[in-house]
Structure 1
Amino acid sequence: MGNNFLDHLSHAFETPLSNPVLIFALILFIILLSPILLRRIKIPGIIGLILSGVAIGPHGLNLLEKNSAVDLFSTIGLLYIMFIAGLELDMNEFRKSRHKSILFGFFTFAIPIAIGYPVCYYVLGYDTLASILISSMFATHTLVAYPVVNSYGISKNEAVAITIGGTILTDTAVLIILAVIIGASQGELDQRFWVTLGISFAVFLLIMFGIVPRIAKWFFQKVEGEKTAHYIFVLSVVFFAAFLAEIAGLEHIIGAFVAGLALNKLIPHSSALMNRIEFIGNAIFIPFFLISVGMIVDTSVLFNGPTALLIAATLTIVAIFSKWIAAWFTQLSFGYSTAQRQVIFGLSSAHAAATLAVIMVGFQYQIIDENVLNGTIVLILVTCIVATLSTENASKKVVLAGEQDEITTEKNIARDEQLVLPIANLNNMESLLDFATLIKSKHSPHPLTVLTVVPNNEMAEQNLQRARKNLDSTAKYASGSETEVNMMATIDHNIASGISRAAREIGADGILLGWPSKPGIIEKMVGEKTESILNQTDTNLFMCHVDQPLITQKRIVAFFPPLSESELGFDFCMEKILRLSLELTVAIHYVCAARTETAIADYLKRNKNSTRVFFSYHDEWEDLAELRKFVKENDLIVFVSSRQGEVSYRHSFDGIPKKLGRVYAQHNRILIFPSRRTGYSLDEYEDVSTAPILQRIGRGIGSMFTKDKH
């Protein structure tokens, strides 16, 4: 019995391991521990996983061998890397600086190839195809150091914007060259190959950019509640695109990259779906791929003689030097400072995702040998470290030169931002929470405060327990997008004063409410709840009606009445509208008077934003129905109103939620009341609006006898 158990145990731990459960457990332990251990000695996580793969692979401890399961997971990881690369690119930034991005893309693509090809061909002695493949690998770059520029607050600097734009161009060009090289290696590079490649590539792009986004938009609209289905749909698109690319005679990694570009606009960067995509990729698939890359590496080759070390050193030197020359040419062309040149070099010199993809495909087709594969791993290790250090050093210089994105005071406001979401109706909780996640400042450490106010009556305690249970479901939903929420349930005689009291307690910068429902007879005469909240708070207040998925919006139409630029909360409102447009990758159409346009243009100039903006003049604000001519079918309407007695207030704003709800019933709409200076509100225990009571009762009785005109 004991012998049987020992035999069973020794058989289970025979190397290479064959038990799938044990293999998976081992890989998960590596994914868990290698970044934690190597972070202490400042080695990037990507390198840690590759080195772990070297250790457990056939050329190391031989714990694992390359089998179909490892190959499947590593293929998924490779496609995932390219998909996320396409998905995370900021298309707004690219559009804004596209001419400069194109020139930088040309430099960072052509110069490494021009330097790399003769070195590979004449110095290292590789044939034409291998030399082209290796030199095209030099042209790729991965934005490993992007979190560094983000943390220093210079992500909107033009030097950063053109580097991101250049990534799209250079990676796309390299992937097309890869398709040609593979065709040539198979001996198929004739006229028929070029015609087939041209037609199949055109059909592939037509399907990916013409048909897939429409199907995706329809799917996200129709299957709104099924969050799991959204993720599975996105994965299906990625693998369908990869398969489609292979049919078209391209590499599957091109398909995954194009899938990322095609879905880029439909998946906001702060959404729950984006969080799931990144989370699962970073947790399982991408680490699996990096480990499998390490398993191919044969470290003994490095010690067989000077050749392997010479190749590794040459590849690394050429990669770094060629990217520095490209950054230098870009500096000369656009008159950038030395610090900006260093930022461009730092961001574009790291080789990781696309580099691995190209080299792995080249190795599979036996275009390159083991020496190049091993040399590339050394190159990735060195360039990731050089890029991170260079970017950090350059970012400090850019900050010292006073070229940060935001004015310090505005940044401090954003850092301490507090948003409150009073939830009364659980049906619109998800859409309100999604909207809040999109507009919340990324600088603020504070969670969103979700608030429920329970009436102070004999059922108060039971209602409070029920409210807390409802808040738990809200917290569960928020965790899907990793949105931090602070749950708050309070008792008050009056819901409006409960909300205003809670908002004052936490120092709220903004209150996000659902769209007011139709009031009953009593509310019409005494004053509606939302109106009471308006009168009792001084902070920015957003009324949100978000019935359709926000990804279906083609643009934002923002109505700014005359003198709205004089309101205290003008800058806050501008910042939130701009953040929303960046998340949804849509243009903003401002409808305003000439003076307001000047104020908006000044704000945009100060904050260096990449959003496309258009202006329309409008002077007649007494009849709000006239604004209908500016609105199209898939527009998100944002109307900046104001409280009674404020500078920009006018009589036509009286009962504005009802007016907008009637005219724009089919549209998503946001009504904003900018903050005002304290001391303008009534006594905080007062529930009646400042409008003359007789006028209010008269209007209430009048509306009871008159039907809404549709």
Structure 2
Amino acid sequence: MNNSAHHLLSEFQLPLKSPVLVFSLILFIILLSPLILGKIKVPGIIGFIISGIVVGPNGFNVLEKNSAIDLFSTIGLLYIMFIAGLELDMNEFKKKKYKSFAFGFFTFSIPLLLGLPVCYYLLHFSWQASILTASMFATHTLVAYPVVTKFGITRNEAVAIAVGGTILTDTAVLIILAVIIGSGDGSLNFQFWIQLIVSLIIFSLVMFIVIPRITKWFFTRLESEKTSHYIFVLSVVFFAAFLAQAAGVEPIIGAFVAGLALNRLIPASSSLMNRIEFTGNALFIPFFLISVGMIVDLRVLLEGPQALIVAGVLTVMAVVSKWLAAFLTGTIFKYTKAQSLLVFGLSSAHAAATLAIILVGYKAGIIDKNILNGTVILILATCIIASFATEHAAKQIVASEEDYQPEKTNDESPENILMPIANFDNLESMLDLAVLLKDKTSPQPIHLLSVVHNNEDAENNLRIARKRLEGLLHYASASEAGVEVLTTIDYNAASGVVRTSREKDASLIISGWPRKTTFLNKFMGDKTETIIDNTDKNLFVCHLTRPVAVHDRIVLICPPFTEFEAGFSLWLSKVCALAKELSAPVYCHCSLRTENAIVSFLDIKKITVHFNFVDNSDWEHAASLKGWLKADDLLVFVAARKESQSYQKTFEGLQTKLERYFSTVSKILVYPQVNPYTYNSAAIGITGEQ
């Protein structure tokens, strides 16, 4: 008994050594820190850093920095940079790339120009130490980025330029670090520059040409292996970090570039993106923030006035220079005060790159202990300031977006998607598409419907259908998209779909592509045609030949007078939403009148999707599109019902024509909603006996 008690007490000797106990404590910190400090309005990020100070070797020495904590911390840091690259709105970034370059220039040059004379003339550092310390002011780590994610404003323009500026300034600073270290050991020569430039070019070619092609192939070949997708993505992130290190820059640059390279292939609303964010925000990123706190040693402030002076000057310079860069950027580009504050909040935290620079400089003997200690205090102060500033700005932006929603009125009902299921083979791809199309603000779930033929086996078939559909609930839960299973009995599938669409007041029906037409279908009319003829709802008839995420372009065919249909705004908004999720350009074949209507819609809704318009007067002949379409294109053809203003004789047999000419291309056939008063009520009133 005494031996057992002694052994138990030894497990609790500080610092803790047991891996199980250490991991348990860290998990409790991750769980309780945001809850406790949230009561006093302290952001969760600060809670993790403060917790790290308290339990770290410079606090109560409960935990010590070891290889396991360093490993998880490194993963968390890479995760932050990877998610930042992954969530960057590429369409917005391309449109605002010059603004990102401008902010990157300001946030790099202003701290460097202000910090260099202060360090050299006021603090009396050497030239090497002054350049290194001043360049440290220019770096920033996206410590506050999880705050942006929490408030759902990752696609705000201010976030796009802040993140874009981060990679530019950090890359420049880390190259300066390599140059300073090279000059210190005498290796700064022509060969050094050639090696650095060549290695960076090779790294860029691998990441932006080779990796996306391999990823697309992997996602296509193993479409159903969702766990493998996540493991593959993690492998790419760490391999990219290694390649960046081999190229002579920091691994965080590689992780960010990996996010950019995979940006198009991982839609923001996909289940894979949900898994990536969940794992990072729940485990790896808090680990990193706790480890940052474990480095902080508040006792350095008691070591004498020199440490206080250095810490104070470094902190003030870091904050002021970043504020000036954000203020200048906001003034030039006419941002709101909240957006300028958001840029400042995201760019003012110093942690990862700052530590990398200072620790390397310290080990190389370029900077002394006072600078190292002052930098640690700077990290704590700037992380606190950045978190509060970012959260305050995010709340203001969210409040302003909620106040301004001209496209919605109180009379509009929330979006309601109905997805009838006939073929269970391709159901996951169809569900992925429905999740990407779904309005994220709608409280209504996606309704999966299976219609069972009304015969003597109806009850048994109903149970089987319900069981098969419920198996999809687990798959759908990964994307956190609400899904509801519906099963019903009817004399034929089409009438069951039509009836349920009315009962659920569906605003959009997403249907699978009809199977090959038989002689009986030609005579009686197939199921899809029956749904088209007997509903006035927006209808998307889909045939996906590959995973949704791997499509490079959307080719949109809009016949004349498409803009006069009642469902014009809805289907166009869905095409834009899909293009935004895929970061894919839209190539639109339409008349000048339709082009003007689309451009007007984009301006009113402030949609940033990139449209390329093509005047194609020969759209009636589907074969003429063959030269336009590529294997990874998604063809969206806007058709019309017979009662519609845009209906033309060419639409007859359109499904068969598209299947004949583009059997290997993914396609969506759109039937816009028609005005009820122009719709033939006799056509809607089908009965169960039809």
Q: Same fold (TM over 0.5)?
A: yes
Deviations 1:211-233 (A, max 9, x none): 22222222222222221221111
Answer whether contact 1:319 1:349 (CA < 8 A) is retained: no
SS at match of 1:449: strand
> 2:63 matched to which residue of 1?
64
Amino acid at match of 1:506: K
SS at match of 2:15: coil
- Between 1:526-535 and 1:637-646, the stretch displaced more is 526-535
Answer whether contact 1:418 1:446 (CA < 8 A) is retained: yes
> 1:586 matched to which residue of 2?
584
> 1:286 matched to which residue of 2?
285
**2:512 aligned residue (504, 511, 514):** 514
Matches of 2:657 and 2:523 in 1, distance apart?
18
Corresponding pairs, count: 680
Answer whether contact 2:76 2:284 (CA < 8 A) is retained: yes
Matches of 2:673 and 2:408 in 1, distance apart?
17
> 2:372 matched to which residue of 1?
369
**1:387 aligned residue (374, 387, 390):** 390
**1:359 aligned residue (335, 355, 361):** 355
> 2:100 matched to which residue of 1?
101
Answer whether contact 1:15 1:64 (CA < 8 A) is retained: yes
1:78 Cα deviation from its structure 2 partner: 1.8
**2:608 aligned residue (607, 610, 614):** 610
- The 1:154/1:222 distance shift into structure 2, 3 A limit, reads closer
Percent pairwise identity: 50
- The 1:538/1:492 distance shift into structure 2, 3 A limit, reads same
> 2:35 matched to which residue of 1?
36
- The 1:253/1:179 distance shift into structure 2, 3 A limit, reads farther
Matches of 1:442 and 1:175 in 2, distance apart?
39
Write out aligned runs for 1:216-231 (5 A): 216-231=215-230
SS at match of 1:630: coil
Deviations 1:313-366 (A, max 9, x none): 4444333332332234334534x2xx6254123223335777433324532552
Matches of 2:689 and 2:314 in 1, distance apart?
76
- The 1:66/1:100 distance shift into structure 2, 3 A limit, reads closer
Matches of 1:421 and 1:535 in 2, distance apart?
17
> 1:24 matched to which residue of 2?
23
1:370 Cα deviation from its structure 2 partner: 2.3
- The 1:412/1:382 distance shift into structure 2, 3 A limit, reads farther
Answer whether contact 2:46 2:384 (CA < 8 A) is retained: yes
Answer whether contact 2:429 2:548 (CA < 8 A) is retained: no
Supply the RMSD in Å over aligned alpha carbons. Answer: 2.8
- The 1:130/1:271 distance shift into structure 2, 3 A limit, reads farther
Amino acid at match of 2:345: S
Deviations 1:543-602 (A, max 9, x none): 111121233322111000111100001011111111111111111110011111110111
Answer whether contact 1:204 1:244 (CA < 8 A) is retained: yes
> 2:339 matched to which residue of 1?
343
Amino acid at match of 1:497: S
> 1:433 matched to which residue of 2?
431
Matches of 1:225 and 1:152 in 2, distance apart?
31
> 1:478 matched to which residue of 2?
476
> 1:685 matched to which residue of 2?
686
Answer whether contact 1:178 1:358 (CA < 8 A) is retained: no
- The 1:176/1:643 distance shift into structure 2, 3 A limit, reads farther
Deviations 1:477-525 (A, max 9, x none): 1122222212222222332222222222222221111111123333321
Deviations 1:189-213 (A, max 9, x none): 3333222211221222222222222
Answer whether contact 2:319 2:348 (CA < 8 A) is retained: no
SS at match of 1:350: helix
Matched, 1:111 2:107: no
Matches of 2:278 and 2:90 in 1, distance apart?
22
> 2:654 matched to which residue of 1?
656
- The 1:153/1:646 distance shift into structure 2, 3 A limit, reads farther
TM-score, scaled to structure 2: 0.91
Answer whether contact 2:135 2:173 (CA < 8 A) is retained: yes
Answer whether contact 1:121 1:131 (CA < 8 A) is retained: yes
1:684 Cα deviation from its structure 2 partner: 2.8
> 1:538 matched to which residue of 2?
536
- Between 1:657-666 and 1:612-621, the stretch displaced more is 612-621
Answer whether contact 1:581 1:587 (CA < 8 A) is retained: yes
TM-score, scaled to structure 1: 0.89
Amino acid at match of 1:416: P
Answer whether contact 1:51 1:294 (CA < 8 A) is retained: yes
1:385 Cα deviation from its structure 2 partner: 0.6
- The 1:187/1:486 distance shift into structure 2, 3 A limit, reads farther
> 1:323 matched to which residue of 2?
322
Matches of 2:410 and 2:327 in 1, distance apart?
32
Matches of 1:146 and 1:220 in 2, distance apart?
28
Structure 1: runs of 5 or more not aligned: 690-710
Matches of 2:313 and 2:516 in 1, distance apart?
73
Amino acid at match of 2:392: L
1:125 Cα deviation from its structure 2 partner: 4.2
> 1:708 matched to which residue of 2?
none
> 1:273 matched to which residue of 2?
272
- The 1:602/1:433 distance shift into structure 2, 3 A limit, reads same
- The 1:480/1:393 distance shift into structure 2, 3 A limit, reads closer
SS at match of 1:369: helix
Answer whether contact 1:309 1:375 (CA < 8 A) is retained: no
Answer whether contact 2:540 2:669 (CA < 8 A) is retained: yes
Answer whether contact 1:423 1:513 (CA < 8 A) is retained: yes
- Between 1:187-196 and 1:459-468, the stretch displaced more is 187-196
Write out aligned runs for 1:171-250 (5 A): 171-184=170-183, 187-250=186-249
Answer whether contact 2:167 2:253 (CA < 8 A) is retained: no
1:309 Cα deviation from its structure 2 partner: 4.7
> 2:490 matched to which residue of 1?
492
Answer whether contact 2:318 2:348 (CA < 8 A) is retained: no
- The 1:543/1:488 distance shift into structure 2, 3 A limit, reads same
SS at match of 1:589: strand
- The 1:102/1:664 distance shift into structure 2, 3 A limit, reads same
1:396 Cα deviation from its structure 2 partner: 5.3
Answer whether contact 2:314 2:374 (CA < 8 A) is retained: no
Matches of 2:16 and 2:153 in 1, distance apart?
48
Answer whether contact 2:145 2:346 (CA < 8 A) is retained: no
> 2:460 matched to which residue of 1?
462
1:86 Cα deviation from its structure 2 partner: 1.9
1:126 Cα deviation from its structure 2 partner: 4.1
Matches of 2:411 and 2:153 in 1, distance apart?
15
Deviations 1:269-312 (A, max 9, x none): 22222222211112222211211221121122234445545444
1:9 Cα deviation from its structure 2 partner: 1.0
Matches of 1:410 and 1:153 in 2, distance apart?
22
> 1:261 matched to which residue of 2?
260
Matches of 1:184 and 1:219 in 2, distance apart?
44
> 2:381 matched to which residue of 1?
378
> 1:574 matched to which residue of 2?
572
Matches of 2:239 and 2:528 in 1, distance apart?
48
Deviations 1:619-663 (A, max 9, x none): 345433333343233321000111111111111111221211111
1:130 Cα deviation from its structure 2 partner: 4.3
Matches of 1:242 and 1:149 in 2, distance apart?
24
Matches of 2:143 and 2:297 in 1, distance apart?
25
> 1:503 matched to which residue of 2?
501
Matched, 1:668 2:671: no
Answer whether contact 1:230 1:273 (CA < 8 A) is retained: yes
- The 1:396/1:221 distance shift into structure 2, 3 A limit, reads closer
Matches of 1:190 and 1:643 in 2, distance apart?
72
